[in-house]
Amino acid sequence: MNLYAGQKPNVIIVDIVCFEYVLLEFDRLIDWIYTPKDEFLAKRAGAIRARKKLVQMLSAGETDYKTLQEVAEYDAHLEKHNIEQLSAKLLFDLTRNTGFEVTKGTIGACWILACCDWAGRQENDVCGLDPVRPLAADKMKAVLRGTSLYSKFLQAGLEVLL
């Protein structure tokens, strides 16, 4: 695919792990999806630790046995998963039952809409964005700034407007 795509003048190949990993590495992910007193912080502590270790390992470009072992403790099926599958599983486990839920087929309304502008929002549907309630465009800019996407786009020669 890269050989074919690389021959096209209107195709730019951007080196990213996968879509799920981009959201997983977002530096404000945990702050956005959970409130400081959220019960999910304790219930999902293992996933939060595994995410932190995985992101540290991949962003440093180094894999060491200790970090791999810590991530493997979270996912018993690690030897059967590739990095995309592991990223998707971790992201789903962190975001499920929130407006930020991400699955292979859907992305939660909280990622793509202005805060609290989604149908079916209940009174107890709260997140870390409740105090500021940013617009969708502001969320996208924050994701761009808080992930490797910005630098990858620049490396690929793409103009990025913030």
Measured at the CA of 87, the angle between CA 84 and CA 92, to 5 degrees, comes to: 125
DSSP state of 1: -
Of the candidates 49, 51, 46, which has an alpha carbon nearest to the alpha carbon of residue 24?
51
What's the pLDDT tens digit per position in 142-156?
A: 999 999 999 888 888
Structure tokens at 61: 């470009």
Q: pLDDT per residue over 3-56, tens digit each?
A: 777 677 777 777 888 889 999 999 999 999 999 988 999 999 999 998 998 898
Q: Around Cβ 49, how many Cβ atoms within 10 Å?
A: 14
Query: CB–CB of 142/28 below 8 Å?
Result: yes
CA dihedral of 103, 106, 108, 112, whole degrees rounded to 10? 130
Q: With 0.95 as the threshold, say if the pTM is over it.
A: no
Q: Chain-centre distance of CA 107, in angstroms? A: 11
Distance CA(45)–CA(52), nearest Å, equals 11
Return the structure tokens found at 148: 């490797």
Strand partners, 107: 102
